[in-house]
Amino acid sequence: MTRYQRTDIIRGKEDQLFIFDSTKTEGEMIDLAVQHNCRIILKGGDKGRWYLKGRDMDHDIIMSKINNSIGNSRDGVYILYLEK
């Protein structure tokens, strides 16, 4: 698992999203990501909601999107990339 600060990928209708309340823990989100076969967990800011993204997406596509987005989001936003 790798954390990317100030990074968000797969915005809009590009991929199916699962949205969860901000009260979930990072550990709970990791479990949900595995359950839903999502490789990206997004925290939408310090008090923001959680999002699961990248369902069944290829590693190379995800890494390309991450590399093009690192540091482009506001403070507090980050993604966790779950490598298989």
Q: Identify the helix (H) or strand (E) that includes residue 18.
A: strand 18-20
Residue 7 · residue 73 · CB < 8 Å? yes
Residue 18 · residue 47 · CB < 8 Å? no
Verdict on whether the full-model pTM lies above 0.95: no
Please check the confidence at residue 14 and state whether its pLDDT lies above 80: no
Range 64-79 average pLDDT: 92
Number of residues written out for the chain? 84
**What pLDDT is stored for residue 54 in this prediction?**
87
**What pLDDT is stored for residue 11 in this prediction?**
73
Residue 8: closest CA among 57, 83, 80: 80
**What pLDDT is stored for residue 32 in this prediction?**
96
Range 11-32 average pLDDT: 85
Q: 13 by DSSP, 3-state: which? A: helix
Domains and CATH numbers, the chain: 2-81 (3.50.4)
Query: How much is the mean pLDDT over the chain?
Result: 90
